[in-house]
């Protein structure tokens, strides 16, 4: 798998270095879905991350990217495709324990409509990272039962954030 640029009768092998910026410049066009699906399997995490930023990806391509091994790709997926991530994908992602990624989910947990938001919030509330729990506790749209649970968290900042969110 490599990137080539065809100019007239010349074929230039580009490798993957220029691909992320080229992908970013491609239009948000559903007709390019097969191209994005192909690029989602690139050996370059930078390419996969650029693909993950495209809003026109079908659910199948999002699922491929959701199983990526690189946190920066996953973070782009959870930020760009809240409406397409399945509950199984989210559970798999959260269980990896990547704080930066889990914080991104906690900020807008209510937007993951393809999943049981209460189940996802419960997993985040069980995170070993107090920052993930604090961000979830600060989300006034998180399920109230989870916010109530976080009012007795071992971390004082989590308790304060949960109490504040429940008052809003």
pLDDT digits (tens, 9 = 90+) for 48-92: 999 999 999 999 999 999 999 999 999 999 999 999 999 999 999
Using CA atoms, how far apart are residues 166 and 18, in angstroms rounded to an integer? 48
- 34/6: higher pLDDT: 34
pLDDT over 70 (residue 37): yes
Using CA atoms, how far apart are residues 23 and 19, in angstroms rounded to an integer? 6
pLDDT of residue 155: 97
The whole-number average pLDDT for the span 114-137 is 97
pLDDT of residue 17: 66
For 47-96, give the DSSP string: HHHHHHT-TT--HHHHHHHHT-S-HHHHHHHHHH-TTT--HHHHHHHHHT
Q: How far is CA 31 from CA 12, 54, 57, 146, in A?
A: 25, 13, 10, 41
Using CA atoms, how far apart are residues 123 and 91, in angstroms rounded to an integer? 8
Nearest Cα neighbor of 34 from 25, 26, 44 is 26
CA count, 13 A, side-chain hemisphere, 104: 19
Phi then psi for residue 55, to 5 deg, are -80, -15
- 7/145: higher pLDDT: 145
pLDDT of residue 24: 81
How far is residue 134 CA from its own chain's centroid?
Answer: 19
How much is the pTM?
0.86
Using CA atoms, how far apart are residues 55 and 126, in angstroms rounded to an integer? 30
pLDDT of residue 20: 74
Using CA atoms, how far apart are residues 134 and 150, in angstroms rounded to an integer? 9
Q: How are the residues of the chain apportioned to helix, strand and coil, as percentages rounded to the nearest 5?
A: 60, 5, 35
């Amino acid at each position: 798998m490599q990137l080539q640029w065809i100019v007239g009768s010349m074929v230039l092998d580009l490798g993957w270095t220029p691909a992320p910026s080229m992908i970013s410049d491609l239009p948000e066009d559903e007709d390019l879905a097969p191209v994005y699906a192909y690029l989602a399997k690139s050996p370059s995490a930078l390419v996969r991350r650029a693909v993950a930023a495209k809003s026109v990806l079908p659910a199948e391509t999002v699922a491929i990217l959701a199983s990526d091994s690189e946190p920066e790709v996953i973070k782009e997926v959870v930020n760009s495709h809240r409406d397409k991530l399945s509950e199984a994908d989210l559970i798999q992602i959260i269980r990896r324990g990547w704080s930066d990624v889990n914080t991104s989910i906690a900020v807008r947990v209510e937007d993951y409509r393809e999943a049981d938001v209460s189940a996802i919030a419960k997993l985040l509330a069980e995170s070993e990272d107090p920052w993930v729990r604090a961000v979830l506790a600060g989300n006034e749209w998180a399920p109230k039962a989870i916010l109530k649970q976080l009012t007795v968290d071992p971390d004082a900042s989590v308790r304060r954030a949960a109490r504040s969110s429940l008052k809003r």
